[in-house]
């Protein structure tokens, strides 16, 4: 019996809806598939053992050191918990964008349609790990990042959903304490704990995992800045800065689909211009580069190039580099696990005990 056109349309619509729902969540989809495979493999192995072995309970006790039913329930509960957590992360909706302060634009001016989407506001620092046994907050535990001053706010942290009291959890830096992290992974494998992860992402990691044209815009704007004589770029944990000697010119940051360009221009001089920007002079680390330009589309990108010319060519009167050759500064995509291993993402993990019911109703 063949598949009708109506059924094919429904299948295509379902697949398309699933693709749209999981766009940009490749890692979460992979986690769900892996967790489901483990659960299915355990169920099949358990059934084969029961069918092919004359005395499965005695055999399992000798091999595993626990009665067959108890060992099976513990492992299956752990696998089902892991699958449920992976599904929750896949279906988790992104944070709603926060309302931004009114921009200092000319009266009656409208934002171009291609730039209408608001960028989510930076999250408040989340609870974070400490190297000592005592529980500390992220701000207390994390070391100062090279190139930043003490007391400056950290850029976005990411966390997994957890309904309990975060202050009661003891986070560890998985890079600094690999042996303890391996113990926690083993506890999770045995179904004794659930691991809660926190990620602190560097500017470079956010650029690597950015989407759309963010990297192309970044490469072009970096070349535009470096095309002026004496301008140097320096990458720190939170952003890339561009200076000429002691003269600060610009900083670049990145979010998932938006490039942030900070320029050392006077916001007052751009107030009644065509440029839509934000005045961030009240933020300490951006006080010397107070004009924030959020670039999401071609129009803002072209205007950003104009502002770089206005800053470097007109205001600073920097000469262009003779025979300047542009370079490709785009970076290949890497998953979070690889970025943690390379030190571009800091992973902090805590273990939450898992309570296993005596007689689960679904067995």
- What confidence category does residue 355 fall into, taking pLDDT thresholds of 50, 70 and 90? confident
Give Cα 42 distance to the centre of its chain.
Answer: 32
Residue 67 DSSP label:
-
CA distance 173 to 171: 7
Alpha helices in the chain (DSSP H): 5-21, 26-52, 56-64, 68-91, 138-141, 178-189, 203-208, 214-226, 298-308, 336-341
For residue 228, pLDDT over 90 is answered with yes
Whether the CB-CB separation of 25 and 158 falls below 8 Å is answered with no
More confident residue, 147 or 343: 343
For residue 233, pLDDT over 60 is answered with yes
Whether the CB-CB separation of 92 and 116 falls below 8 Å is answered with no
Full-model pTM: 0.56
At 251-272, the pLDDT tens digits run 999 999 999 999 999 999 988 8
In terms of Cα–Cα distance, which of 262, 237, 267, 234 is closest to 249?
A: 262
The share of the chain scoring above pLDDT 70, in percent, equals: 55
CA distance 36 to 152: 42
pLDDT value of residue 271: 86
What's the rounded mean pLDDT across residues 280-296?
A: 93
Q: Which long-range contacts (CB under 8 A, 24 or more apart) does 5-9 make?
A: none
C-alpha distance from residue 10 to each of 19, 29, 191, 285 (Å): 14, 22, 39, 53
What's the rounded mean pLDDT across residues 79-85?
A: 67
Mean confidence (pLDDT) of the chain? 74
357: its two tokens:
């019911």
Report CA dihedral (156, 147, 311, 244) to the nearest 10 degrees. Answer: -160
For residue 141, pLDDT over 50 is answered with no
For 1-16, the DSSP string reads: -PPPHHHHHHHHHHHH
State the CATH class of domain 210-315. Answer: alpha beta
pLDDT value of residue 119: 43
pLDDT value of residue 350: 93
CA distance 299 to 323: 27
Q: Which long-range contacts (CB under 8 A, 24 or more apart) does 7-14 make?
A: none
CA distance 263 to 286: 9
Most confident range, picked from 25-29, 35-39, 151-155, 198-202: 198-202
Cβ burial, residue 276 (10 Å; 0-12/13-18/19+) = buried
At 86-114, the pLDDT tens digits run 676 666 555 434 333 333 333 333 444 44
For residue 154, what are the contacts with CB-CB under 8 A and spacing of at least 6? 125, 138, 139, 142, 145, 200, 238
- What confidence category does residue 358 fall into, taking pLDDT thresholds of 50, 70 and 90? low
Give the three-class secondary structure for 172: strand
pLDDT value of residue 325: 93
Cβ burial, residue 300 (10 Å; 0-12/13-18/19+) = buried
Report CA dihedral (17, 21, 27, 29) to the nearest 10 degrees. Answer: -50
More confident residue, 337 or 126: 337
Which residues are 254's β-sheet partners? 259
Whether the CB-CB separation of 252 and 261 falls below 8 Å is answered with yes
């Amino acid at each position: 019996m063949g598949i009708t056109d109506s059924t094919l349309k429904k299948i295509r619509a379902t697949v398309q809806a699933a693709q749209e729902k999981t766009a940009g969540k490749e890692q979460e989809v992979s986690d769900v598939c892996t967790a489901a495979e483990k659960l299915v493999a355990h169920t099949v192995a358990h059934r084969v053992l029961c069918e092919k072995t004359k005395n499965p309970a005695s055999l399992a006790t000798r091999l595993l050191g626990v009665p067959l039913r108890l060992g099976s329930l513990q492992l299956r509960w752990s696998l089902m918990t892991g699958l449920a957590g992976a599904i929750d992360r896949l279906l988790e909706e992104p944070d709603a964008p926060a309302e931004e302060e009114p921009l200092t634009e000319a009266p009656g001016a409208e934002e171009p349609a291609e730039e209408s989407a608001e960028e989510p506001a930076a999250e408040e620092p989340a609870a974070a790990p400490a190297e000592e046994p005592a529980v500390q907050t992220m701000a207390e535990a994390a070391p100062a990042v090279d190139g930043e001053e003490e007391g400056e706010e950290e850029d976005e942290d990411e966390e997994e959903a957890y309904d309990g009291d975060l202050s009661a959890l003891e986070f560890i830096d998985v890079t600094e304490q690999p042996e303890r992290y391996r113990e926690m992974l083993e506890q999770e494998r045995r179904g004794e704990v659930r691991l809660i992860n926190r990620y602190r992402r560097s500017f470079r990691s956010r650029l690597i995992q950015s989407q759309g044209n963010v990297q192309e815009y970044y490469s072009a704007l970096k070349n535009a800045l470096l095309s002026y004589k004496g301008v140097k770029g320096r990458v720190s944990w939170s952003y890339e800065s561009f200076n000429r000697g002691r003269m600060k010119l610009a900083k670049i940051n990145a979010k998932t689909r938006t490039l942030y360009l900070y320029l050392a221009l006077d916001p007052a001089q751009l107030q009644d211009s065509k440029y839509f920007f934000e005045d961030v002079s009240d933020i300490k680390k951006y006080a010397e580069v107070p004009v924030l330009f959020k670039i999401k589309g071609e129009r803002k990108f072209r205007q950003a190039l104009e502002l770089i010319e206005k800053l470097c060519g007109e205001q600073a009167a920097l000469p262009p580099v003779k025979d300047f050759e542009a370079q490709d500064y785009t970076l290949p995509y890497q998953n979070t696990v690889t970025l943690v291993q390379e030190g571009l993402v800091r992973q902090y993990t805590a273990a939450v005990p898992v309570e296993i019911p005596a007689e689960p109703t679904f067995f």
